Chains A and B, each alone.
Chain A
Amino acid sequence: MTYFIDRRANAKHKSAVNRQRFLDRYRTHIKRSVEEAVNRRSITDMERGEKVSIPARDISEPVFQHGPGGKRTIVSPGNKEFVEGDRLRRPGGGGGGGAGEGGASNQGEGTDEFAFTLSREEFLDFVFDGLELPHLERKALVDLDEVRPVRAGVSRDGVPARMNIVRSMREAYARRIAMRAPIRRALREAREALDMEEGKDPVLRNPARIAELKVEIERLEKRLEAVPFIDTYDLRYNNLINQPLPSSKAVMFCVMDVSGSMTQAHKDIAKRFFLLLYLFLERNYEKVELVFVRHHTAAKEVDEEEFFYSRETGGTIVSSALTLVDEIITKRYPPGQWNLYVAQASDGDNWDDDSITCREQLMKSLMPRLQYYTYVEITPHAHQALWEEYETVADEFPDRFAMRQIVEAGDIYPVFRELFKRRAAH
């Protein structure tokens, strides 16, 4: 007896729980791999999974087993030239020595890696684990794709509650006119014919014809009456379609110093920081706009490509960028409609007098309008004037102004996490 069962439609991810348990158990290992990958990868490379290797000994499931050594007899297939009594060198060991530790079985243990692939989602989850853009004044970020039903004309299908009475009656009226017109015409013709027939000289009248016409008229009158007052296909319903809810919008300004004082290494680190930021935004907020502003002595709004990949030299006037950001906000992103974020990366160098200008500009003009301002300073050296001025800003707006120092590429990820750490209070 045999029966077939088609299980294809059944639950797919039967192993999902076990897979998750595995990922949870080796969280620290996997995180390390993911962090390395983030520092290594380029931006276009982020949106894919990652191959993760864990040293096999760390995840082995130990059982009692024979170790190398002792005496054993191995049966193998495919003998070619061996004859009984042949003596052979141990493969690999190059002689091995008396201890016999160099045997093939020894290689079974040791440095093997257990390699597997994280899916794209799993990879990004590890990257963004526990992160959140601070103070976004939108209830829940995941709801960005919320929809609202809106009226969109009328349709023939729908539920009774949405019936459009006026349109339905109008349809019915039109249908009645259309359906009755030929009957009325025939009726009129029949009556005219009858009148004509009855108006004739009695001798010439055709009684059979008269009777026929009378029957015809009666039939047509009945048909006229039978045209329904309203029919199912007259019914019209108000149509609703799901329209994406205009969600609260956010714009992120990426500000970067590209002056001569920024070395290539500095720029690389800054780029990484923005890469992460970019990815984070792309992933979490589909409706977030990005504005890239780079500056040396003068600031310029550029596209993403130019922002990350073109070179400039010259001195540094940070306030030029802040002024430009300010202008762009005024022109294009009225604060009533947009949540505004600024992320700035710099090596801390600035034209001396300019740092004070920066502070004033931030305090007076920018900070009141911004949701959040992050500043990363990429330098192993002591802080300069800009940092000090910014510290006063941070004191003034402790919830909305964050600043951190980065020394090397490896610091990026922790800093990034720190900056956008989920705010437990909210």
Chain B
Amino acid sequence: MTMTRRKPIATGSDWNFEVLEAYERELARLADEYRLDTYPNQIEVITTEQMMDAYASVGMPVGYHHWSFGKQFLAVEQAYRRGQMGLAYELVINSDPCIAYLMEENTLMMQVLVMAHACYGHNSFFKGNYLFRAWTDASSIVDYLVFARKYVADCEQRHGVTAVEQLLDACHALQNYGVDRYKRPSPISADEEARRQTEREEYLQAQVNMLWRTIPDRPVGDTLPGSLDDGEDPLGLRTGGRYPPEPQENLLYFIEKNAPLLAPWQREIVRIVRKLAQYFYPQRQTQVMNEGWASFWHYTLMNRLYDEGLVDEGLILEFLQSHTAVVNQPDFDSPYYSGINPYALGFAMFSDIKRMCENPTDEDREWFPDTAGGDWLVTVHFAMRNFKDESFIQQFLSPKVIRDLKLFTVVDDDQDEMLEVTAIHDERGYRRVREALATQYALSLREPNIQVHAANIRGDRSLTLHHVQDSRRPLGRSVYPVLRHLYQLWGFPVRLESIMDDDSVGRHLQWPLPDEEAK
């Protein structure tokens, strides 16, 4: 190897804006070489305290006020003070321009690393990945957040902090069920929101009024509308089929449009929570890929800087130490184990794709005939653009990575007294491990499958949800408080039926509790 003459831009651990800008220019040049397409970067230098603020609000530069963010702040602060948590050397939010935060306490190495990781890694992921492209509108999110904050603050003025807080509590409980999983939502735009908001209030209310115009009849009991055993209603006037005709997976959307008693401003707040949940939805599905992609690029870019002599040995050693810590995967029996580290898994997979292209083995050719020996840059870009965690693992997790991480699967069945190891990193196990790991990252299985089944619009106005059980897994105890929140939003009794594997109705929950109703 020819020795490059070292002319580092800066040495030591101190930084200033001039140096940061110089490094940023070099990173931009290299990123361009690797065809990393990014939104413009807005790099903000902030203090530790501001970083904790940013953490508490999930990186949103502005947000409406709610106690839960305060709780989050206290938790972050506590963890940070105790040293349990390396504060966040990077935080980046999906917006255009892409906002990244640098903490002032960081060393020069850290700042360069964060710029490589966030401003070119995450940023290009946000711009390139299909989920983000399809589901979020980076250019308008900040404006929308400003609109949301102002709207919530206005509501607090008009209706009191407590009323708004209770409503937000209820919405937050359901926010994971406030997303459209299959159809693209209309883009959110602050201007449009503000302009159309009044209009929408009126329209929505009119629609709801239409739906609930019928004066409720005597309670029909537990008979669902649509059942045909009602002798007193031969013409089916009160049983016009189930509403909604199809099950609805977006509970908050259903509430916003159909809850009988919500005031227009309450519907608007439901909408705000729903829109924000939708915005975060892609993030929740691409954790491994996003962090893996960013780590892969910070590793590549930092090494390029070193190869070109733009950073000195001290900096690159400090970097390697930090990088190793970030992508470290403790074993399952280690006291430090807390699940699979998305940085480790993602980094290993992207690095492995590159390896398969550059130095394919026979195994790679057998398992990945399309990838092995290909152009690595094209392949990693393809992978980044077109997958989410679940499908990415399904598609690209190689036997080599399974071996390196020594992955194995254990089946925990409550009908079996013992746990059983069902697959390990061997010829028989690779596919099953890969299958299981992909499933583990499938949001649809991580969260219980709950849908709106029926709203009894002609009878007692009760709302019935169906929980389609997967592998007999029941709901956790938190289901009661969530139902209570749902009841607050709906305003009439709420039922939840667990549908078993054989389509029979299992557990049947109700809020308010039946005996309370009797009183």
Chain A positions within 8 Å of B158 at CB level: none
Check if A4 sits within 8 Å of B43, measured CB to CB.
yes
Closest to A21 in B: B67
- Cβ of A364 < 8 Å from any Cβ of B? no
- What's the minimum C-beta distance from A348 to chain B, rounded to whole angstroms? 45
- What's the minimum C-beta distance from B125 to chain A, rounded to whole angstroms? 17
User: How many angstroms between the C-alpha atoms of A70 and B471 in the bound complex?
Assistant: 6
Check if B45 sits within 8 Å of A6, measured CB to CB.
yes
User: How many angstroms between the C-alpha atoms of A383 and B515 in the bound complex?
Assistant: 51
Q: B366-386 interface mask toward A, CB cutoff 8 Å, 1 = contact, 0 = none?
A: 000000000000000000000
Check if A71 sits within 8 Å of B412, measured CB to CB.
yes
- Cβ of B502 < 8 Å from any Cβ of A? no
- Cβ of A246 < 8 Å from any Cβ of B? no
Which of A80-88, A136-144, A172-180, A230-238 faces chain B?
A: A80-88
Q: Provided the pairs A5-B42, A12-B50 are in contact, do residues A61 and B447 lie with their beta carbons within 8 angstroms?
A: no
Check if A73 sits within 8 Å of B409, measured CB to CB.
yes
User: How many angstroms between the C-alpha atoms of A20 and B418 in the bound complex?
Assistant: 48
How many chain B residues sit at the interface, stated as a range, is: 35 or more
Check if A117 sits within 8 Å of B481, measured CB to CB.
no
Q: Provided the pairs A1-B40, A20-B70 are in contact, do residues A87 and B50 lie with their beta carbons within 8 angstroms?
A: no
User: How many angstroms between the C-alpha atoms of A13 and B474 in the bound complex?
Assistant: 42
User: How many angstroms between the C-alpha atoms of A25 and B162 in the bound complex?
Assistant: 10
Chain B positions within 8 Å of A89 at CB level: 418-419
Q: Provided the pairs A15-B52, A18-B56, A77-B329 are in contact, do residues A8 and B46 lie with their beta carbons within 8 angstroms?
A: yes
Check if B406 sits within 8 Å of A18, measured CB to CB.
no
Which of B197-205, B261-269, B423-431 faces chain A?
A: B423-431
Check if B74 sits within 8 Å of A22, measured CB to CB.
yes
Q: B38-63 interface mask toward A, CB cutoff 8 Å, 1 = contact, 0 = none?
A: 00111111110110110011000000
Check if A22 sits within 8 Å of B471, measured CB to CB.
no
- Cβ of B176 < 8 Å from any Cβ of A? yes
Check if A2 sits within 8 Å of B172, measured CB to CB.
no
Check if A77 sits within 8 Å of B47, measured CB to CB.
no
**Which of A19, A59, A68, A100 has most B Cβ within 10 Å?**
A19
Chain A positions within 8 Å of B477 at CB level: 67, 109
A95-139 residues with Cβ-Cβ distance < 8 A to B are 95-101, 103, 109, 114-117
User: How many angstroms between the C-alpha atoms of A116 and B75 in the bound complex?
Assistant: 6
- Cβ of A78 < 8 Å from any Cβ of B? yes
Q: Provided the pairs A78-B331, A78-B332, A87-B419 are in contact, do residues A103 and B412 lie with their beta carbons within 8 angstroms?
A: yes
Check if A78 sits within 8 Å of B405, measured CB to CB.
yes
- Cβ of B37 < 8 Å from any Cβ of A? no
- Cβ of B476 < 8 Å from any Cβ of A? yes
- What's the minimum C-beta distance from B195 to chain A, rounded to whole angstroms? 28
Chain B positions within 8 Å of A12 at CB level: 47, 49-50, 53
Closest to B175 in A: A63
**Which of A1, A83, A116 has most B Cβ within 10 Å?**
A116
- Cβ of A425 < 8 Å from any Cβ of B? no
Check if A8 sits within 8 Å of B47, measured CB to CB.
yes
- Cβ of A17 < 8 Å from any Cβ of B? yes
Check if B50 sits within 8 Å of A14, measured CB to CB.
yes
Q: Provided the pairs A61-B169, A73-B436 are in contact, do residues A6 and B340 lie with their beta carbons within 8 angstroms?
A: no
Chain B positions within 8 Å of A7 at CB level: 44-46, 50
Check if A62 sits within 8 Å of B482, measured CB to CB.
yes
- Cβ of A60 < 8 Å from any Cβ of B? yes
Check if B421 sits within 8 Å of A82, measured CB to CB.
yes
Check if B78 sits within 8 Å of A115, measured CB to CB.
yes
- Cβ of B415 < 8 Å from any Cβ of A? yes
Closest to A108 in B: B476
Closest to A109 in B: B477
**Which of A64, A66, A80, A82 has most B Cβ within 10 Å?**
A64
- Cβ of B17 < 8 Å from any Cβ of A? yes
Closest to B419 in A: A88
- What's the minimum C-beta distance from B279 to chain A, rounded to whole angstroms? 17
- Cβ of A76 < 8 Å from any Cβ of B? yes
Partner of A69 from B173, B330, B472 at Cβ < 8 Å = B472
- Cβ of B334 < 8 Å from any Cβ of A? yes
Q: Provided the pairs A71-B415, A100-B413 are in contact, do residues A15 and B405 lie with their beta carbons within 8 angstroms?
A: no
Check if A15 sits within 8 Å of B332, measured CB to CB.
no
Q: A166-188 interface mask toward B, CB cutoff 8 Å, 1 = contact, 0 = none?
A: 00000000000000000000000
A22-68 residues with Cβ-Cβ distance < 8 A to B are 22-25, 59-68
Check if A21 sits within 8 Å of B43, measured CB to CB.
no
- Cβ of B20 < 8 Å from any Cβ of A? yes
Partner of A85 from B78, B421, B437 at Cβ < 8 Å = B421
Closest to B100 in A: A2
Q: B314-353 interface mask toward A, CB cutoff 8 Å, 1 = contact, 0 = none?
A: 0000000000000001111110010010000000000000
User: How many angstroms between the C-alpha atoms of A97 and B417 in the bound complex?
Assistant: 6
Check if B50 sits within 8 Å of A10, measured CB to CB.
yes
User: How many angstroms between the C-alpha atoms of A20 and B333 in the bound complex?
Assistant: 40
User: How many angstroms between the C-alpha atoms of A89 and B416 in the bound complex?
Assistant: 10
Chain B positions within 8 Å of A96 at CB level: 417
Q: Provided the pairs A70-B469, A71-B471 are in contact, do residues A22 and B71 lie with their beta carbons within 8 angstroms?
A: yes
Check if A8 sits within 8 Å of B412, measured CB to CB.
no
Check if B42 sits within 8 Å of A3, measured CB to CB.
yes
Chain A positions within 8 Å of B405 at CB level: 77-78
- Cβ of A337 < 8 Å from any Cβ of B? no
Check if A63 sits within 8 Å of B473, measured CB to CB.
no
Check if B75 sits within 8 Å of A22, measured CB to CB.
no
Partner of A64 from B21, B73, B447 at Cβ < 8 Å = B447
Check if B414 sits within 8 Å of A99, measured CB to CB.
yes
Check if A71 sits within 8 Å of B414, measured CB to CB.
yes
Chain A positions within 8 Å of B294 at CB level: none
Check if B421 sits within 8 Å of A65, measured CB to CB.
no
User: How many angstroms between the C-alpha atoms of A73 and B473 in the bound complex?
Assistant: 12
- Cβ of A423 < 8 Å from any Cβ of B? no
- Cβ of A90 < 8 Å from any Cβ of B? yes
- What's the minimum C-beta distance from A175 to chain B, rounded to whole angstroms? 48
Chain B positions within 8 Å of A13 at CB level: 49, 53
- What's the minimum C-beta distance from B510 to chain A, rounded to whole angstroms? 16
- Cβ of B304 < 8 Å from any Cβ of A? no
Check if B421 sits within 8 Å of A88, measured CB to CB.
yes
- Cβ of B359 < 8 Å from any Cβ of A? no
Chain A positions within 8 Å of B163 at CB level: none
Closest to B103 in A: A8
Closest to B43 in A: A4
User: How many angstroms between the C-alpha atoms of A73 and B471 in the bound complex?
Assistant: 10
Chain A positions within 8 Å of B408 at CB level: 75-76, 79, 82
- Cβ of A382 < 8 Å from any Cβ of B? no
- Cβ of B92 < 8 Å from any Cβ of A? no
- Cβ of A381 < 8 Å from any Cβ of B? no
Q: B438-449 interface mask toward A, CB cutoff 8 Å, 1 = contact, 0 = none?
A: 011000000110
- Cβ of B420 < 8 Å from any Cβ of A? yes
- Cβ of A72 < 8 Å from any Cβ of B? yes
Check if B78 sits within 8 Å of A116, measured CB to CB.
yes
- Cβ of A74 < 8 Å from any Cβ of B? yes
User: How many angstroms between the C-alpha atoms of A2 and B340 in the bound complex?
Assistant: 34
Check if A116 sits within 8 Å of B74, measured CB to CB.
yes
- Cβ of B478 < 8 Å from any Cβ of A? yes
- What's the minimum C-beta distance from B338 to chain A, rounded to whole angstroms? 11
Check if A75 sits within 8 Å of B417, measured CB to CB.
no
**Which of B71, B433, B436, B480 has most A Cβ within 10 Å?**
B71
A-B contact pairs, 8 of them (CB 8 A): A8-B104, A14-B57, A17-B65, A61-B68, A61-B172, A69-B474, A70-B414, A76-B340
Name B's A-contacting residues (CB within 8 A).
Answer: 17, 20-21, 24, 28, 40-47, 49-50, 52-53, 56-57, 65-75, 77-78, 81, 97, 104, 119, 161, 165, 169, 172-177, 329-334, 337, 340, 405-426, 428-429, 433, 436-437, 439-440, 447-448, 450, 467, 469-482, 485
Q: Which 7 A-B pairs have the closest CB atoms?
A: A78-B331, A100-B414, A70-B473, A22-B70, A18-B70, A67-B476, A116-B74
- In addition to A21-B66, A79-B425, 12 A-B residue pairs with Cβ atoms within 8 Å of each other are A2-B40, A18-B73, A24-B67, A61-B172, A62-B479, A73-B409, A76-B340, A78-B405, A84-B428, A84-B429, A87-B420, A98-B414
